[in-house]
Amino acid sequence: MDIGKFRFNGQAIPERMHGAIQRYIEQRINPGDFLTAVLCNDLKEACARADDENITMLPVYVAFFYNEVPAKCRGSSEKVMEWLNG
């Protein structure tokens, strides 16, 4: 998976976030509060946790996780916790 090549409406996930996403998917390492909220599909919490850059990128994250990340590790807090505790 090449996170850097993914585009949604001409935008890409900030490069500084790639490592956390990659570690979550490949090594089951907690990606932090913002990404966990997005993965759990808790967009209210994601908005509360986002910094100035990531708040504008929420649609990109949602599209990326939906289209590129296996369903077994995203979509609800139960799935995320199960994935992390795998």
The residue type at 33:
D
Would you report the helix, strand and coil content of the chain in percent, each value rounded to 5? 65, 0, 30
| 81 — pLDDT class (breaks 50, 70, 90) | very high
Segment 11-52, tens digit of pLDDT: 999 999 999 999 999 999 999 999 999 999 999 999 999 999
CA 35 – CA 48 distance, rounded (Å): 12
- Considering the entire predicted model, what is its pTM? 0.94
pLDDT reported for residue 1: 75
